Chains A and B, each alone.
Chain A
């Protein structure tokens, strides 16, 4: 069954406390190549049947209204992934 993947990231200007904690932990494990980490969210919306334009539009709408908060987050990707 096809899925619609929605990726949400904290806005660039917003300090991401979780990403900051992760970037602090990486060098302790020997991963020294990374200067910054930002943590986002990935949603997978499963569709029974074909993904029509109307369903994709619904997903985009849901991404902007419920899945993300435009004050602190950006929807960076909405795409269809065939199973």
Chain B
């Protein structure tokens, strides 16, 4: 199915003919609210989104998984803490750690779920200023070799929306040093640190680079007229085209 843009020009994506056959699962927990936007971003990038329910016990034949933002289980206990034990999460954890290295992207609450799942190190606590914050945020792509960032240039700056209350990324100094040394700091806040995250970290990856998590929302910057007013407004689309090119590359 082709998405028609509601406002503005259609985004031209250099879609590989085989991309339309690629299936990207989008997980919905009770309290998830960005699943529809994530699915739309997948379609705009040229692939087919597959709805995955948190209580499901199979991932089917998806080529990648997006864990979108929201407030799974009301953020009770800790953000992502209860979602991490959902039946589908154990399948995602196994697939991400398997030899096949299923690409997994966690956005905002999805990032929090990935840290609670121990797929990514560290954790998120309340913003240092204690308030919910929503703004267009500039990020620098520090690592363009992950499954989700291959279509960006190293050092490229992109603007995507950010909206969170528990977005302060923390880890002990040893973990932070290791992340830096291994190139696993994938995104850094530029110009303004919106939540007090250590070392301006906005997103990180696991060692192989198939699992990426970040607090800002690339899925809200995929369509002209709806994204940030800074930059093209569609600078988040590269996440979704990156993983498709990665999938096609792996299947050559």
Contact = CB atoms under 8 A, between A and B. Distances in A.
B170 A69 contact: no
Interface string B64-82: 0000000000000110011
Contact of A66 (B81, B128, B170): B81
Contact of A17 (B78, B115, B130): B130
A66 B77 contact: yes
Contacts of A81: none
Contacts of A77: none
Interface string A55-83: 00000000000110101100000000000
Contacts of B43: none
A29 interface: no
A71 B123 contact: yes
Interface residues of B, number: 21
B123 A17 contact: no
A14 interface: yes
Contacts of B122: 71
B77 A15 contact: no
A72 B115 CA distance: 11
Contact of B170 (A14, A18, A21, A67): A14
B116 interface: yes
Interface in A1-38: 10, 13-15, 17-18, 21
A43 to B, nearest CB: 9
Interface string B168-203: 101110000000000000000000000010000000
Contacts of B115: 71
B171 A71 contact: yes
Interface in B106-121: 115-116, 121
A14 B126 CA distance: 11
Given A14-B170, A17-B168, A69 B81 contact: yes
Interface of A: 10, 13-15, 17-18, 21, 66-67, 69, 71-72
Interface of B: 77-78, 81-82, 85, 115-116, 121-123, 125-130, 168, 170-172, 196
Q: Lowest 10 A-B CB distances belong to which pairs?
A: A71-B123, A17-B126, A72-B123, A21-B130, A17-B130, A17-B128, A69-B123, A69-B78, A72-B125, A71-B122
